[in-house]
A and B are shown apart, each in its own frame.
Chain A
Amino acid sequence: MDDLPIRLAEDLDGAFPELVEGLQSELYSGLRSLAGGDAEDLAQETFIRAYRALSSYDTARVRNLSLRGWIWTIALNLGRNHLRDRARRPTVANELFDVGRDDPEPIDWMAWEARLQKLSLPIRKAVVLRHVVGLDYPEISSVTGRPVGTVKADVHRGLQRLRTIMEDEE
């Protein structure tokens, strides 16, 4: 991934599938924790917008991109109109893909999605980006537009709140 921005600048079409492969797992998982069932649609739309943006940027800008933070900025800015755009595109014949069912589920996703939904949106974003996605604090600060100190406090408060929620369940 380290030299991917350089390769994207040199050969966007050749290198873009690598960007998708490198980031799809964290993007999908993070969006699923934030937005639930729309995660695949949102992740797809994020990558397509990223591709269009990269096509329009000059090479110096592409070379200097910090890809993970940049992708998450796009993802968190998506509006609801992406569903309308989707009808205008070809889509895989779904019967060819056994969507997500091969994965074992060691963790009760539904329960965790429900717990995360109990956090306010800024706090949920901070917790998910830090602990599900694995961004560092400066990256989260840049993606959410909140100061690093605030993000740290949000994550701390979020984790405490989750502990309380779990204790209440017992």
Chain B
Amino acid sequence: MNIEETLAGLRRGAPASLKANVELGTGLADGVSIFESPVGELAVTFNPHGVSSVSLAALDFEDYFADRFGRRLIEARPPSGWEKLINRGIEAGNPGQLPLDLRGVTAFRREIMLIATTIPRGEVRPYQWLARQAGRPGAARAVGSAMANNPIPLIVPCHRVVRSDGSLGAYSLGGADNKRVLLAREGFVSTEG
């Protein structure tokens, strides 16, 4: 083999991690990692913009994610420092300094999510209250739908939003029972039967 052929032989396949890391780094795919929570294991997804979704790991979150966001998921580690912020966000029921990717969320729903993060731990607010805070007192139903479609439940604490008659209402992260578990853990006792 002459030297030119030998040099051509130095060409070889790239490691499989290269393409996956490029997809993660460009945001063409989201990373997913499993975190513990009071309502069981959570699949938390993230990309360079922030955390994009939280769902119960026991459910078929891959299909849910593909349907809702249209991107691929790759098992991955979050960017440096985010793991701690995610754990803290789950524990506190508040994003704190954790970046959130809300690109696919409408301006109104984004505002409602932001208002929800102002509800202190251990307290609840009715849908109507959030509507008023957003300057749209008649939009309680739209608030309900914003909360039902909250892509980042628990960290954005839609579990603290209840019906005006005091009943808990629905909860996207595994139903009303989980809502009750989370609120009880925060010291709020539901009067609901």
Chain A interface residues (CB < 8 Å from chain B): 13, 16-17, 20-21, 24-30, 32-33, 40, 43-44, 47-48, 51-52, 86-94, 96-100, 103, 106-107, 109, 112, 127-128, 131-134, 159, 162-163, 166
Given A112-B6, A131-B4, A159-B3, are A17 and B16 neighbors across the interface (CB < 8 Å)?
no
Partner of A91, one of B11, B28, B76: B76
B118 on interface, CB distance cutoff 8 Å: no
* B14–A28 touching, CB < 8 Å: yes
Residues from 6 to 29 in B contacting A, C-beta threshold 8 Å = 6-26, 28
Sample of 4 more A-B contacts, CB < 8 Å, known A24-B14, A90-B24, A112-B10: A24-B18, A26-B11, A47-B25, A90-B78
Q: Are A33 and B10 in contact (CB under 8 A)?
A: yes
Docked-complex contact B3 and A163, CB < 8 angstroms: yes
Q: Is B36 an interface residue (CB 8 A)?
A: no
Which single member of A24, A99, A131, A159 contacts B8 (CB below 8 Å)?
A: A131
Q: Which of B8, B22, B78, B79 contacts A20 (CB 8 A)?
A: B22
B12 touches A92 (CB 8 A): no
Which residues from A are CB-within-8-Å of B15?
A: 28, 40, 97, 99-100
Of A13, A21, A32, the residue contacting B28 (CB under 8 A) is A13
How many B residues are at the interface, by size bracket?
35 or more
Does B48 have its Cβ within 8 Å of any Cβ on chain A?
yes
Residues on the A chain within 8 Å of B48, using CB: 88-90
CB distance from A159 to the nearest CB of B (A): 6
Minimum-distance CB pairs A-B, first 5? A90-B31, A28-B14, A131-B7, A87-B80, A24-B14
Chain A residues within 8 Å of B18, by CB: 20, 24, 28, 40, 43-44
What are some 10 contacts across the A-B interface (CB < 8 A)? Answer: A24-B18, A28-B18, A32-B10, A89-B21, A90-B24, A91-B21, A92-B31, A131-B8, A133-B11, A159-B4
Q: With A17-B23, A88-B80 in contact, is A132–B17 under 8 Å at CB?
A: no
- In this assembly, does B94 line the interface, its C-beta being within 8 Å of a C-beta of chain A? no
- The minimal Cβ–Cβ distance linking A33 to chain B, given in whole angstroms, is 6
Please give me the residue from chain B that is nearest to A163 by CB atom: B3
For residue B41, CB closer than 8 A to chain A, the reply is no
